[in-house]
Amino acid sequence: MSSHDLDIARRRLAAAQRVTVLTGAGVSAESGVPTFRGAGGLWENHRPEDLATPQAFARDPALVWRWYQWRRGLIAQCRPNPAHVALAGLERNKPRCTLITQNVDGLHRQAGSRDPLEIHGDIWRLRCLGCGRVWLSRDLGLPERPACPQCGGLARPDVVWFGEALDSAFLEKAWQAARLADYMLVAGTSALVQPAAGLAAVAKEAGAFVVEVNLEPTPNSAWVDVSLFGKAGDILPRLLEAL
């Protein structure tokens, strides 16, 4: 990462009116959040990809919930890192800032972000399959088949599984934020997972200045305005300190 590139990104951010941020797993990895496949493919002899589906839940909800409780237990030990804290500060300094995240760990909220668009859901929320009620619970002792406190129906994790569409309302807000941005910051994402991977291109086409922060080059690196390579927890506080 050159100081010249960092300075350009800083100056453009200071002048920006509408900022949109997209974060991915790389941001939370610095807090110790295990990757989705952190079970090493060996969890009660199941592949994680086989558990995160509507079909798996319909077949054996207790098994799926045991896996999610295991994941929740790991994430509960993690805390927001300087990248999360810096982005919460950005929101305070730029009122027209929209934070979009692919992460389900809730660390942006813990850091003080006011209303992140969690387009893949939140592992700490439950959703009733009966009445649709959604509620937050950080209880690590949930029963294997959690019940809705309102109707008694079976609850599932409020996350997006393989084979499911993203929430259309959240997704439309994300596209709108990308289209309206004059500065787009993409941090800790491989730019491979659609549809989130397309947000930066939408912003660029609409005229935004696009900055990526990542450990290594991504498919976006060929056309973004500035690439800052390194840890988000190191770079984002430096990028935002001028604010």
C-alpha span between 103 and 192 (Å, rounded)? 14
C-alpha span between 61 and 143 (Å, rounded)? 11
Q: Which of 4, 84, 108, 120 is catalytic?
A: 120
Helices and strands (H and E) in the chain: how many: 10, 9
Known active-site residue 4? no
Contact 31, 78 (CB under 8 A): yes
Question: 135: which residues sit within 8 A by CB, 6+ positions away?
Answer: 125, 126, 149
Burial of 212 (0-12, 13-18, 19+ CB in 10 A): buried
Report, as residue numbers or ranges, the catalytic residues.
Answer: 120
